[in-house]
Structure 1
Amino acid sequence: MLYIISGVSRAGKTIVAKKLASQKGISYLSLDWLVMGFTNGIPEYGLHHMLLPDEIAKKIWGFFKAIVESMLWNDVDYIIEGEAILPELIIELFNKHPNKLKICFLGFADISVDKKVEEIKEFSCGKKDWLIDKSDKYMRNHVKNMMAHSKTIKASCNKHNLRYFDVSKNFVTAINNAMCYLKT
């Protein structure tokens, strides 16, 4: 089984991927690592970490699709997580391989900006985190952008009948629900 976990920054994708990897005894790949490979290794491609998530997803799609198809053909059990996946793109592979893919998206469309900034600061305390050293204004703008992106992802998930979990109200419950969904 190939597990795809996507959604917005700060929605818990890595948490779900690490928990699932531990429970299933399989590895995971963060698309952030691939994006940084493009950013620092082949900048001439024009794919870099400062693009918006949907721009990255569209630029990396052909490359990512080829990797996923190869993994599916080889019956690899693996987890891939990251922002750079859009429901309207991944649905093609899901429709082609419904018994080999488990896909979910995470977001936060219905939370106050201040509450999410507080959560980020609380969770990031003492950890390596690219966002924690940014100004409050930067964090607030990032959260606003991710809230808007969450709404777009949620609508696309609904349109394509893919699972979306919103972590706005109860982060831990939503993460646990996503885990239960992926494990079934």
Structure 2
Amino acid sequence: MIIIITGASHTGKTVLAQQMLEKYKYPYLSIDHLKMGLIRSGNTKLTPCDDDDELTGYLWPIVSEIIKTAIENKQNLIVEGCYIPSDWKSSFEDDYLSQIKFICLAMTDKYIERHFSDIKKHGSDIESRGDDSDCTVEWIKAENKKYIDSFKSMNDQVLMIDDNYEKIIDSILE
């Protein structure tokens, strides 16, 4: 089984991937780690500051082939990151798609407004974010709207975090 976890920044993708690793013993691939490995090794001219669409266009062809390889090798894998294109399904034939579970996490405006300090506080639960000064209520709302609009337009389910974050995460883990 392949599990793809995507969503806007600060939605808990990495926390969920870590919890799945602990519960199911599936390894996970952080697309951010792949991105930084390619950038730091000099194998791309892209930088961490480049546009997400540019990074997605560069990273997704690599990630989708990793997913296919894992399926062909009958390996479980969690793939986590924000660099998943909304048309991700077009990269796979039906035989592959039947072995992929897709999870898109998004927060409602109401949740962001009510829980912004918690969102910021948990931003480094798994990884150190360093300078997070660009994380504002408005920015998080805009990022979540992008994910909601793009994935819903492709008929993908978006798990909306509207009230109880832990309840949504627990329902995924069950």
Confirm or deny: 8 A CA contact 1:5 1:104 kept in the other structure.
Answer: yes
Cα shift at 1:126: 8.4
Q: 2:147 aligns with which of 153, 158, 170?
A: 153
- Quote how far apart the aligned CAs of 1:2 are: 0.8
Give the structure 1 partner of residue 109 of structure 2.
110
Q: Distance in 1 between matches of 2:52 and 2:19?
A: 24
The answer on whether the counterparts of 2:123 and 2:129 sit within 8 Å (CA) in structure 1 is no
Q: Which runs of 5+ in 1 are unaligned?
A: none
Task: Give 1:93 shift.
Answer: 4.1
**Contact conserved, 2:13 with 2:80, CA < 8 A, in 1?**
yes
Give 1 or 2: higher helix fraction.
1
Length-normalised TM-score, structure 1: 0.79
Residue 60 of structure 1, CA deviation: 1.2
Q: Tell me the matched-pair count.
A: 173
Aligned to 2:90: 92
Corresponding residue for 1:129? 128
Partner Cα distance (2:110, 2:17) in 1: 23
User: Is residue 2:18 matched to residue 1:21?
Assistant: no
Give the residue type in structure 2 aligned to 1:25. K
Q: Secondary structure at the match of 2:67?
A: helix
Between the aligned residues of both structures, percent identity stands at: 24
Q: What is the Cα-based RMSD across aligned positions, in Å?
A: 2.5
Partner secondary structure for residue 139 of structure 1: coil
Is 1:107–1:147's contact at 8 Å kept on the other side of the alignment?
Answer: no
Contact 1:94 1:101 in 2 (8 A): no
Determine the structure 2 residue equivalent to 1:40.
Answer: 40
Distance 1:128 1:14 in 2: 8
Q: Give the aligned residue type for 2:50.
A: L
How far did 1:48 drift? 2.6
